[in-house]
A and B are shown apart, each in its own frame.
Chain A
Amino acid sequence: MSGEATLDVLEAHLEAAELRLARLASHEAVERLQRSYGYYVDKGLWSAAADLFAEDGTWEWGQSGVYKGRERIRAALALRGPEGLAQGELNTHFTCQPIVTVAEDNMTAKARWRADMQLCKNGKGSWAEGTFENMYVNDDGVWKIASLHFYVTVECDYDLGWVVGDMPMEGPSEELPPDEPPTEVYQSLPEVYLPAYHYPNPVTGAQPKKPVLPDLPAGDDLGADISALSERIERLEDTRACEKLQRAYGYYVDKAMWDDVADLFVDESTLEIGGRGVFLGKKRVLEYMGIGLGPTGPQREQIINHQQFQGIVSVAEDGKTARGRWRAFVIGGSSWAPVNWGDCLYENHYRKIDGVWVMDKLHAPFTMYTLYSEGWHKTTTPNTRPESFPPPPDLPPTVIYLTYPNYYCEPFHYPNPVTGKDAPPPNPAAGGVANMADFADDER
Chain B
Amino acid sequence: MSDQRRKELQERLARLQDEAQRREDYLAIIRCQRAYGFYIDKGYWREASNLFTQDATYEQGVDGVYEGRERIHELIVKLSGGNPGPGLPFGQLNEHFQLQPVITIAQDGASAQGRWHALSMTGQYGEHAEWGEGVYENRYRKEDGVWKISALRFYPNFVAPYEGGWASLKPVEGDWRSPELADFPSDRPPSETYKPYPDIFTPPFHYVHPVTGEEVKS
Binding site for B on A (CB under 8 A): 3-4, 7, 10-11, 14, 17-18, 21, 24-25, 28-29, 31-33, 35-36, 38-40, 43-45, 48, 51-52, 84-90, 92, 94-96, 116, 118, 120, 123-125, 142-144, 158-159, 222, 225-226, 229, 232-233, 236, 239, 309-312, 325, 327, 329, 341, 343, 367-368, 375-378, 380, 404-407, 409, 412, 414, 416-419, 423-428, 430-433
Contact = CB atoms under 8 A, between A and B. Distances in A.
A82 B27 CA distance: 37
Given A51-B209, A52-B211, A417-B147, A427 B19 contact: no
B191 interface: no
Nearest to B36: A417
Interface in B110-129: 115, 117, 119, 121, 123-129
A139 B98 CA distance: 31
B51 A38 contact: no
Nearest to A37: B210
Given A310-B38, A376-B129, A417-B147, A431 B89 contact: yes
Given A144-B211, A226-B13, A417-B51, A407 B87 contact: yes
Contacts of B92: 407, 432
A87 B95 contact: no
A229 B129 contact: no
B200 interface: yes
Contacts of B50: 416, 418-419
B72 to A, nearest CB: 13
A244 to B, nearest CB: 14
B92 to A, nearest CB: 7
A383 B82 CA distance: 27
Given A39-B115, A430-B83, A417 B13 contact: no
B61 interface: no
What is the predominant secondary structure among interface residues of chain A facing chain B? mixed
Nearest to A43: B202
Interface in B1-50: 2, 5-6, 9-10, 12-13, 16-17, 19-20, 22-24, 26-28, 31-32, 34-35, 37-39, 41-44, 47, 50
B42 A409 contact: yes
A158 B28 contact: no
Interface residues of B, number: 88
A343 B23 contact: no
Contacts of A309: 97, 99
Given A236-B27, A426-B85, A343 B38 contact: no
Q: Which of B5, B127, B128 has its CB near the most chain A CB atoms (within 10 A)?
A: B5
A412 B166 contact: no
Nearest to A143: B210
Nearest to B10: A222
B68 interface: no
A62 B42 CA distance: 38
Nearest to B89: A431
Given A28-B23, A43-B218, A125-B167, A310 B210 contact: no
